[in-house]
Amino acid sequence: MADRRINISYFGSSDIQKNPDGDECGAGVYIFELFARGKEDKGVIPLYIGQALNIQEKCYSLMNMLLRDPSFFGLERADMENDALELRVRILDFFADAETVAGMKNDAGKMDRLTANIRATEETQVNELKPRTQYDPEGIHGKTCTKATFDAFIPDVEKRKELVRPEIRKILK
């Protein structure tokens, strides 16, 4: 039997267009999302939204965590071996390329404004897209995100799975 694996797409061409220099290492807001390969019209499950001054570095780190422990994103090992699923990492909003960010490191005011803009965009995106590992409408996280909720995963791994598993079953039908 052939070895089956989840398909992973990491920063597509539309992400490159958001940054004319093609530099994926800049600052911005990104999303990890899951869908049934070839059936994106059945729905896309937003798993996690984050922000970073170096998107690529942060996403690689999260991807490594996911591959080591799928429950991190509310998934199970069987999901990681299911070639009918696709995990996509994409940029939602791009703010500055790596060179610009490096140039701001000596200007605290500019860096603070950049960071505040990125965090505000992240919070807006979390509230709009309701990523399942961060947004628990019935639990301790409430219906509107605050710094404590959009900054972190829902602490209970089983709760993350409880929010993600039914949606996976729905998109695979």
Instruction: Break the chain into its structural domains and give their ranges.
Output: 7-172
CA–CA separation, 80 vs 60, rounded Å?
16
Query: Tens digits of per-residue pLDDT, 102-159?
Result: 889 889 999 999 999 999 999 899 888 989 988 765 555 444 444 444 557 788 889 8
Alpha carbon 83 to its chain centroid, in Å, reads 20
Residue 168: predicted pLDDT: 95
Q: Global pTM?
A: 0.84
Which are the contacts of 87, defined by CB distance < 8 A and separation ≥ 6? 6, 7, 8, 9, 32, 33, 34, 47, 66
Contact 6, 86 (CB under 8 A): yes
Which are the contacts of 151, defined by CB distance < 8 A and separation ≥ 6? none
Residue 145: predicted pLDDT: 47
Residue 149: predicted pLDDT: 47
- What letter represents residue 70's amino acid? P
pLDDT of residue 36 exceeding 90: yes
Higher-pLDDT residue of 71 and 135 is 71
CA–CA separation, 163 vs 67, rounded Å?
19
